[in-house]
Amino acid sequence: MRKPMIRSTLLAALLACSSLAFAATPQQASPGTSATAPHAQQQRQPNLFDELGLTDSQRSSVRQLLQQSLQQARPELQALGQKRMAFENATPGTSPFQSAASDLAQAESSAAHAQVLRQADLRTKIYNLLTSEQRTKLASLVKQRQQEMQQQRAAAPAASH
């Protein structure tokens, strides 16, 4: 039960690191909802593919790069899930528990390191697909979103008081 949750969480984290990852798959309306009804997230953050004016070829290439990245990560995520299960199944205070904890800590450290390197490689490959105009627009959008996040953070403490 925890294994699929761990995989899903790690895959989501992997995707979240890429500024273009959420734009990689087109949003589909779920049954019973209007295709024109925007979600709160979509209102706040439009599709980067559209904002950057990516061509169909660029969109296809980005999707392919994302799929390749996930396929590369899959074996490591499965091994990490197995170590997590070994840790969860061991009895606290026993030698196997300590060993499983050590193995899990090492595996999570290695997975985090590999994830950052994979993400850097993915972002570089995606960036290289962009034209100079798209790169300029992306830099502008990133700066704009960073400013919005700073404003939200600054407003958050004031709202909690």
pLDDT tens for each residue of the chain, 161 residues long: 444 444 444 444 444 444 444 444 444 444 444 444 444 444 444 678 888 999 999 999 999 999 999 999 999 999 999 999 999 999 999 999 999 999 999 999 999 999 999 999 999 999 999 999 999 999 999 999 999 999 999 988 766 55
- Same structural domain for residues 113 and 126? yes
Whether 75 and 144 map to the same domain: the answer is no
Are the C-beta atoms of residues 87 and 96 closer than 8 Å to each other? no
Identify whether residues 61 and 116 lie together within a single domain. Answer: yes
Q: Is residue 79 part of a domain?
A: yes
Cβ–Cβ < 8 Å for 105, 84: no
Report the greatest alpha carbon distance in the chain: 59
Number of domains in the chain: 2
> One-letter amino acid identity for 71?
Q
Burial of 121 (0-12, 13-18, 19+ CB in 10 A): middle
Residue 103, domain extent: 51-130
| Residues 137 and 51: beta-carbon distance below 8 Å | yes
Q: Indicate if 120 and 81 belong to the same structural domain.
A: yes
* Residues whose CB falls within 8 Å of the CB of residue 39, separated by 6 or more in sequence, listed in order: 27
Short-list 23, 25, 18, CA closest to 45: 23
Contact status, residue 13 vs residue 79, Cβ threshold 8 Å: no
Residues 124 and 153 in one domain: no
Give the SS3 label for residue 39: coil
pTM comes to: 0.62
Tell me which H or E stretch contains 91.
Answer: none
